[in-house]
Amino acid sequence: MKHISLYILFLCCLGFFSCEEKADGGFTILTEEIVNVNGTRAIILGRILAFQNVAVQEHGFQFSLTADFSDPIEIKMGERSRPGNFVGETESLSLGKEYFVRGFAQTESDLVFGNTLTFVTLEPAVERIFPLTQFEGEIITVFGRGFESSSEVFFGETKAEVIDVVFGSQIRVRVPKRQESISIPLKVVTGSQVAFAENHFRYPTGTYELLDIRLEGIRLRDNIYFQKGNTFFVGLGVDFSGNIFSEIYSYTQGENEWKPTNYPGLPKRKAVSTRTGYFGGGFQNIGISATYSDDFWKYDNGEYRQITSPAFRFADAIGAEISGNFLAIGGLLEVGSLVREYNPISESWNNLPNLPFDVTGDLVNFIYQDKLYIIDKDKILWEYNPYTASASAKTVYPSPFIKTVSDFGGVAIVMGDKAYIGMYNSAREFWELDLRTFVWSAKNPFPGEIRAVNSGIFERDGQLYFLRSQQPADFTEFWRFDPDGF
């Protein structure tokens, strides 16, 4: 008994020095989650659950079209000793099929499977093309889903050069050489499947013709222009010598010259004007301290009729005819967001709510369905309702602007449900904007001299006509543009 403490000590020593054997315990495979399925690709998360290290010689996932996993596609991820997560990725699945997937692990003696999960691979689809209209050799992007990295794009039957496939959803492709038709069906071939674009791709159109009816000896800037039926009017402003030009010329289709109209009012430059024949304000002469030109006019039924002048002064302002009324908006002389409305029935001027921003006459603008559209210097196209004073940004002008170089001097005109916008200073770009969808389509670039200013734009019988005052010369060119010509 007296040695009992020694026995206890001995037992403790045995306890401390007892051998620890490394045991390969059991484990469980969990097919944890289908992380993502896209096209032919699937990413699966699995987990080995164990309380100690495991001796796994191979592990991975099996994919099969049948629940009994006959003829499975296997992702093998090699041996491992530690429990935990593993992620498997395959890109060899078929599109539009239901798949079964399970994790597996191979030990020396056993092949262990995890639970089975199912998923369905999506069919490839083309959602949209951007831009829908593009020049040959340029790049467009096909947006959609389920695109393999080896996807091919066809314009009609012509295979195009694929630049890259991003995230299986965007294919950048170079537009092939122009074909017979300007509207081409586009398809994406991915794996064994074909996806068609709903809208056809279009090559740009538009032909320009320089007419032999130019304004000889007249070169205008800061002028006005308007149209009455098949007669176009242009005049006032400043001529090529830097002098005030106090006449308005007209051209009627079918004739072969521009004729003076005997304008009876004060000379004007930077007058506020509509495309329909209202105009007024502006300056009578040149210089910083120029005199305000305070008479306002309406050209109608072949004659100029003076209308009441507003109490406010307008110069370099935007003019618009909306619901039969003449609106004078913004400008340099008063508050740049001021809106005044002339009612021809009551022959009086009313106040309308101010614009939410200041405007001047050099901002490209047009009227469509009694709403005013303005492209600001940040290229944003604003839709403005002058009666509710609500403005909303609709789209962005697609060509670049160079500040103080190409961000002014452009033209815009509406023909049907489309607006034709562009030819800013020192730029050739001309665009068609669908006013129902606000989708831009490039037109063929202007081929003439770009050292010129736009003096007027008109439309008749599906054709556009525009005047370009040449900078180095003393004449104004008269051009016809067919938007659909190619």
Partner 1 sequence: MMKFYPILFMVLLLSACIDPYNADVEAPERGLSVEAVITTLPGPHEVKLTRNAPYGLSFVGFNRPEILAKVALRDDLGRTFVFTESQDSNRPGVYISDQDFSAEVGRTYNLELELFSGKRYISRPETVAEVPNIDSLTYKAVRTATTNKYIGEVGVQVTAHFQDPKGIENFYHWRPITSTFVLITEPDAEGGRNPPVSCCARCFHTDFPQPANVITYDDKDVDGLYQRKIVAYILDDGVRFKETYRLDFLHLGISQRAHSFLRLVNQQLNLTGSVFDPPPANIRGNMISLDDPNEQVLGYFLVADAEFMRVYIHKDRLEFVKTPFTKIFLDCREFLRAADGLRRNPIIPPLLPLDPPDDWNP
**124 touches 146 (CB < 8 A):** yes
Using alpha carbons, select from 350, 259, 276 the residue that is nearest to residue 308: 350
Q: How many residues does the chain have?
A: 486
Side-chain half-sphere CA neighbours of 363 within 13 A? 26
Alpha-carbon distances, residue 396 vs 138, 172, 392 (angstroms): 20, 22, 12
Shortest Cβ 87–partner 1 spacing (Å): 5
State the nearest-atom distance from the C-beta of 101 to partner 1, in Å: 15
Nearest approach in angstroms of CB 382 to partner 1 is 15
Min CB(124)–partner 1 separation in Å: 9
Identity of the residue, 146 or 386, whose beta carbon is nearer to partner 1 in the bound complex: 146
Tokens for 373, please give them: 């559209």
Closest CA to 279 of 269, 288, 289: 269
CB of 168 to partner 1, least distance (A): 7
Query: Beta strand pairing status for 186-190 and 193-196?
Result: antiparallel
Which residue's CB is nearer to partner 1, number 17 or number 167?
A: 167
Indicate the residue among 102 and 145 with the shorter CB distance to partner 1.
145
Using alpha carbons, select from 204, 179, 199 the residue that is nearest to residue 485.
204
Whichever of 127 and 136 has its CB closer to partner 1, that residue is: 127
Count of Cβ atoms closer than 10 Å to residue 381 Cβ: 23
d(CA 393, CA 433): 14
Q: How far is the CB of 132 from partner 1 (least distance, A)?
A: 17
SS3 of 425, please?
A: coil
Residues β-bridged to residue 290: none
Comparison of 45 and 182: residue with beta carbon closer to partner 1: 45
Binding positions for partner 1, rule: CB under 8 A? 33-36, 38-39, 43, 45, 84-87, 89, 122, 125, 127, 145-146, 166-170
CA separation for the pair 428, 416 (Å, rounded): 23
Q: Which is nearer to partner 1, 145 or 214 (CB)?
A: 145
Grouping H, G, I as helix, E, B as strand and the rest as coil, residue 15 is helix
Please say which residue, 272 or 355, places its beta carbon nearer to partner 1.
355
Shortest Å, Cβ 35 to partner 1: 6
Residues 441/199, Cβ–Cβ less than 8 Å: no
Angle 251-255-259 from CA coordinates, rounded to 5°? 40
Q: Could you tell me the smallest distance in angstroms from the CB atom of residue 281 to partner 1?
A: 32
Hey, what are 320's tokens?
């618009």
Our CB check for partner 1 shows the closer of 45 and 332 to be 45
- Angstrom distance (rounded) from CA 406 to CA 355: 25
Give the shortest CB-125-to-partner 1 separation in angstroms: 7
